[in-house]
Structures are given as structure tokens and as C-alpha cells.
Structure 1
Amino acid sequence: MRLVLASNNAKKLRELQALFAAVPVELVAQGSLGIAEAEEPHITFVENALAKARHAAAACGGAAIADDSGLCVDALGGAPGVVSAHYAPMPADAADDREALRAAQDAANNRLLLQRLEGVADRRAAFVSTLVAVRHAADPEPLIAFGRWDGQILQALQGDGGFGYDPLLFIPDLGLTVAQLPAATKNAHSHRARAAAQMRALLHAQWHLG
């Protein structure tokens, strides 16, 4: 079964392909099918994920899955939340290449987060992920899964793996930042891994896959 991922993020595609390797689905990025990214106007992860999944499903005429995820910081009232990917203004001198743009945005986001937490003692935060899958654009029974990965925001970046806020979120149970973790460890413990585990169970029980 083909399952279109409502994202053009290559790193997210690889991560989810690994997490769904045991499920008999072919996970393909919407960009490879010429599908534009959907609007994300909502203030909650679940609403945005559902909007993205329905958009991709309508465009491809079949099943789709979407992930809406981000960083929620306790001391900031849950911010950056659904705007995690675009928390800071894009640098004016950012390159035109997609991956270079993402790297520049990540760096700007991390700088802004550290500025807003300057002098703040409560550094508790969590990566959260909501996965939504639909059989078709008008599916009245979308599958919805949630994952949360608790940690603490450091004072400075540590590690060069992963993407986004990975170098800033320290996981006490593992003694490393997300950016310092091997890919296999991240895929076993992450917010997206936890949401994916729920989604795999739902795909088996509701869509009879696997």
C-alpha cells in the first residue's frame, strides 16, 4: 500500500521510513509526486496534521499520513509549539537551496530560543509529535497517534546530529542531547518513535496492515 507523507523534509522521510519499515506500506514524500505543501493555520498539532494529511490525500487520490511536531517549552507556555520550524525570522542572507535554508532556519530558531530562555531557571521542555493517517481525503475516521519526549533545554548547543532543536534538548535518562544520539537510539526513544508505535498498532487494528 502506498502511503504519501505530507512533507518535503528529507530527514523526516528517512526517519519515518525507518520507523514504519515493519509495516507493508511504501512511504513516499508528497514532493516526489508534485504535491505542494499544505497551509498550517491551526494552533494545535492535531489540527495541522489532519489538514496536511487531507491535503495530500486529496492531491494523490489515496492514503496519506502527516506528522506535525515541535518543541514545547514549559517556561514559554508551550512555545514555540506549532511554529517550531519557523520560530525565528528567516535570515536575510539565507541561501536558496532547500537544505541550506532549513539549516539557516534551524540556527536562527535555536538562537531565538536561547535568547528567550536567558536567565530562566526552569528549562523543562518536550518534543511532541502527532501523526494522522487517512485512507482518503474525506475519511471520517482518521487514525491519530501522539508521542512526547521530555527533556531540558541546555544553555548551548551540543552535538551535530539530527536537525532543528536536537542540539539543545538534553535527555536526562540518556545523558545526551538528541543531536548526540545514534540514529538507532533516537528512533527507539523519540517523540516520533512513540507516535509511530501507536500508529503502527492502529494501522494493524483498523486498516489491517501488518
Structure 2
Amino acid sequence: MTRRLGSGTLVIATHNAGKLKEIGALLEPHGVKCISAGSLGLPEPAETGTTFAQNALIKARAAAEASGLAALADDSGLSVAALDGRPGVYTADWAERQWFEGAPGRDWYMAMGKVEGMLAEKGTEVDRTAAFHCVLALAWPDGEYAIYEGRCDGALTWPPRGTLGFGYDPVFVPAGRTQTFAEIAPEEKHAISHRADAFAKLVAEQFGG
């Protein structure tokens, strides 16, 4: 049996207020109070891993060791079958503008275009299957940890459709659906997403009977 988290305070290894709110709402019913690494003034560690699990664990361990509390981190991204799993852990990096592409920041339309351009080079019959991945890493200050992996399979479409999502959502159609993640109502998307899958596994193991 994996170590149980129990009630109490959990550090969410993020500086993103939106992510803290989303995760906090999921764990509040289980008596867990979530605070962010950002509110504690903790630095963001370099994500040097080559897998989602490695990067999530780097972030969770850094927050747990610095705070002396249990910490939870996530790492997520898109893998495209015909691109040998890319962009993978570099999903967000593909959206980063280069010096010649305008002001610093992320341009997700540009990132979607990069993926589509690489697929187009492979011809009209290219395999367009893809999957979103989410890995949650739960770490304790003494070094113990648990990993929970979620995924949502689907296929890529072009051009982008919908305005409700973010990132690569406008070009991702989940399996069994005809709408992209950006065309599906947020509450419906959250019920079938890779993040929902990972959190369901965490809740079942940490708070189940």
C-alpha cells in the first residue's frame, strides 16, 4: 500500500494561481488544504527530466524538501504518434517565441502550426493519432513518493476549432468525439481529460477505502 496523504496542508508545486485553485477544489473534499510553492517564495527548479514523470517528481521533491511538507506537482503535454511522441515534455517549449518571432511569451497557434507542418511533410495519409498526458507526483520530505499517470487519446485536426480551451486544445479531438477540446464545455472536458484520469487514480489510492 502506498503511503497515505491524509488531511492537512499540501504544497502544490506551482506559481500559477489558476492551477492552485483547480487542484485545491479537487482535494478540499478530502480535508486537504492546498498552498502554492509561489506563496511560500519557493524557487521553480529546472525541469531537466526527459519524461513527464521525471519532471513532475523534480518539482514535487524540490517543494517538499524546501517546505518540509508533502508536495504535489504535475507535468503534462501532447504526444503525437507520427512525430515519435513529440512534442512530449517539450510541449510548452514549442510555443515559446524565438527572438525573431516577436515579444517573449507563448504563441500556441504557432505551436499548433509547427505540429501541423511536420505532419503535412509526411503526406496526406499520415497517422494523426495523439494523446494528452498528465503525470502527478506526490512527494514527502523524507524522500518517499508516488506517481499517478493519466492520458486522453484522440486525433489531431486542422484548422484549429473552438475558443474554450488553451494550448493545443483547438486541434485535439478526443476519441469517440467529433468536437475539439476547445469546443467542449469546460466541465465536460475536465471529466474526460488526462488530468481528470490522473487525479481519479490519486484520489482512489490516497483517499479510497
Question: Could you say whether these structures have the same fold, taking a TM-score greater than 0.5 normalized by the shorter chain as the test?
Answer: yes
2:184 to 181, 185, 189: 181
Distance 1:171 1:61 in 2: 39
Distance 2:95 2:186 in 1: 27
Distance 2:166 2:17 in 1: 11
- Report the Cα offset of residue 89 of structure 1: 4.3
Distance 1:34 1:167 in 2: 34
Contact 1:127–1:149 at 8 Å: present in 2 too? yes
- Report the Cα offset of residue 12 of structure 1: 3.2
Q: Matched residue of 2:168: which SS?
A: coil
How many residue pairs get aligned? The number is 197
Write the deviation string for residues 103-143 of structure 1: whole angstroms up to 9, x where unpaired: x332332221121111352100000111011122x323x12
Question: Which protein is bigger by CA-based radius of gyration?
Answer: 2
Distance 1:91 1:11 in 2: 26
Matched, 1:66 2:83: no
- Report the Cα offset of residue 45 of structure 1: 1.0
Distance 1:28 1:175 in 2: 38
| 1:116 corresponding residue in structure 2 | 118
Structure 1 window deviating more from structure 2 (172-181 vs 52-61): it is: 172-181
Contact 2:79–2:133 at 8 Å: present in 1 too? yes
Uncovered stretches (5+) of structure 2, i.e. residues with no partner:
1-7
Contact 1:19–1:193 at 8 Å: present in 2 too? no
Matched, 1:131 2:136: yes
- Report the Cα offset of residue 29 of structure 1: 2.4
TM-score under structure 1 length normalisation: 0.85
Against the structure 1 CA distance between its residues 133 and 29, is the aligned structure 2 distance closer, same or farther, given a 3 Å change threshold? same
Write the deviation string for residues 136-193 of structure 1: whole angstroms up to 9, x where unpaired: 2x323x1211111001111111111222111111124232111112121112110000
Identity percentage over the alignment? 40
Q: CA RMSD in A?
A: 1.9
| 1:20 corresponding residue in structure 2 | 27
TM-score under structure 2 length normalisation: 0.86
Q: Matched residue of 1:75: which SS?
A: helix
- Report the Cα offset of residue 91 of structure 1: 4.3
Alignment-mate amino acid for residue 199 of structure 1:
L
Distance 1:109 1:180 in 2: 19
- Report the Cα offset of residue 16 of structure 1: 2.5
| 1:171 corresponding residue in structure 2 | 174
Write the deviation string for residues 63-119 of structure 1: whole angstroms up to 9, x where unpaired: 110101110100011100111111244243225xxxxx3xx3323322211211113
